[in-house]
Amino acid sequence: MLSRLFQRSSSDHVLEIAPSGKILKTNAKTTILQAALDQAIAFPHNCRVGGCATCKCKLLSGRVREMTDKSYVLSAAELKQGYILACQSVALTDVRIEVDIATRSAHPVVHTSGVITALEPMTHDILRVECRLKDAAAYTAGQFAEVYVKGVGAGDSRESRNYSFSAAPGVRDKVDTVEFFIRHVPGGAFTDWLFKHAKLGDEIEGHGPYGDFWLRPGTAPIVAVAGGSGLAPVIAMLEQARAERITRDVTLFFGARSQRDLYCLSRIEQLSNQWMARFEFVPVLSDEPANSGWTGLRGFIPQHFASVVGARLAEHHAYLCGPPPMIDACLKVFTDSGIAAENTHFDKFLDRSHVVAM
Ligand SMILES: Cc1cc2nc3c(=O)[nH]c(=O)nc-3n(C[C@H](O)[C@H](O)[C@H](O)COP(=O)(O)OP(=O)(O)OC[C@H]3O[C@@H](n4cnc5c(N)ncnc54)[C@H](O)[C@@H]3O)c2cc1C
Ligand code: FES
């Protein structure tokens, strides 16, 4: 019956996703996540390197080969119940997995290409990259796209990298121009190419949108935390909220090493001036020379929650984006302060240096 659904060669396996009943094709060279994304399924995922567990799913039947050690990111109960990481598992036989894909796809995933229309340095190691898309796409502020460039790395979607949209779609149903803030990771395949070789007019391939990082409805005050290029989805989310005239108090913490790493300050000032409620912007520098004249906060963001936000921290809903250690340190304070897990939303910018080897 299954072979009637698609042309099946001897190396293909059937991938069935419960409870949606979706039947897909996969093989022993493609991860389950990649197979699903290639067939336009909005499979939940984030880092693609086995570090975040967003792609976890229950293996109901069949055998898989796992490329990294999942015991670091799955709980003992999940391991016992047969959970696997779809981004780290390839099917060795026909497989049946369970994962909720129905509620994740507010926007259809679009596979398209675009040309670079702006490459603007925001700091010494962050570029604003703007692309005009061949096919317009819809996304929610806070989400990300997966992009790759032919000739860079494997030059196909196996080498794609995640980048969060840094502009709000506003009232438009679909956009034909997108922008990202991208930090140079020395030795990184995609960002080395971007910073050393990319030029206006170059073509980029991509698909999306993906991700669960977006502003939930509500009235609670917001504490937003951004580190480095993690400002991208946070500013997009807040600019969207301003366009929708949301009246929630906001405290925006922005972590950077030194003054030369701060950027988008005029956009943040505009946001603050036009915000419909209280808006407090708190830059925190971790490596600013002592004699620089900087009068703002120093050190790391979590050490300042108590003095800036105070005893009402537990009433806040938290949105965080940036490097994993910064997010982990903030989450610990939020949990200890009583912010409920369901009111805490984050995207960790995990990369291939976070791969957990077997
Ligand atoms: C949901 C999400 C959203 C993101 N959004 C953004 C964004 O808006 N802006 C942004 O700047 N970044 C973002 N990132 C990070 C981004 O996707 C890339 O990971 C980052 O740009 C590095 O890509 P690269 O190709 O340059 O580096 P890679 O080639 O992926 O290498 C990254 C680092 O890992 C090392 N490395 C490579 N392979 C291995 C290996 N096998 N084992 C160990 N180490 C290895 C490299 O030397 C390098 O130091 C996001 C990540 C996620 C998960
Ligand atoms: S997407 Fe698979 S562990 Fe992060």
User: The domain that contains 241 carries what CATH number?
Assistant: 3.40.50.80
Contacts of 223 (CB under 8 A, 6+ apart): 250, 251, 253, 305, 309, 313, 316, 317, 318, 319, 334
The total domain count for the chain is 3
Answer with the one of 42, 74, 98 that is the final residue of a domain.
98
Mutation probe of ligand 1 site: the residue of 73, 127, 160, 162 with most atoms within 8 A of C-beta:
162
| Residue pointed to by tokens 């010494």 | 124
Mutation probe of ligand 1 site: the residue of 47, 130, 353, 355 with most atoms within 8 A of C-beta:
353
Residue nearest to atom 41 of ligand 1 (CA): 352
Q: What is the pLDDT of residue 212?
A: 84
Judge if 117 and 93 occupy the same domain: no
What are the structure tokens assigned to 202, written together?
A: 């170059």
Domain boundaries, position 59: 2-98
Q: What is the pLDDT of residue 41?
A: 83
What global pTM score does this model have?
A: 0.88
**CATH code, 34:** 3.10.20.30
Judge if 271 and 306 occupy the same domain: yes
d(CA 88, CA 65): 8
Which residues of the chain fall short of a pLDDT of 70? 1-8, 102-105, 154-158, 354-358
Judge if 254 and 282 occupy the same domain: yes
CB atoms within 10 A of CB 302: 20
Whole-angstrom CA distances from 266 to 74, 170, 269, 272, 281 are 41, 19, 5, 10, 12
Q: What is the pLDDT of residue 4?
A: 53
Find the residues whose C-beta lies inside 6 A of ligand 2.
45-48, 50-55, 85, 87
Judge if 226 and 340 occupy the same domain: yes
**CATH code, 136:** 2.40.30.10
Q: Is residue 66 situated within a structural domain?
A: yes
Q: What is the pLDDT of residue 326?
A: 96
Q: Is residue 215 situated within a structural domain?
A: no
The CA 349 to ligand 1 mean position distance, Å, reads: 7
The CA 355 to ligand 2 mean position distance, Å, reads: 10
Q: Is residue 14 situated within a structural domain?
A: yes
Q: Is residue 281 situated within a structural domain?
A: yes
Judge if 298 and 197 occupy the same domain: no
Answer with the one of 178, 210, 242 that is the final residue of a domain.
210
Q: Is residue 357 situated within a structural domain?
A: no
| Residue pointed to by tokens 């917001």 | 222
Answer with the one of 65, 98, 131 that is the final residue of a domain.
98
Judge if 263 and 308 occupy the same domain: yes
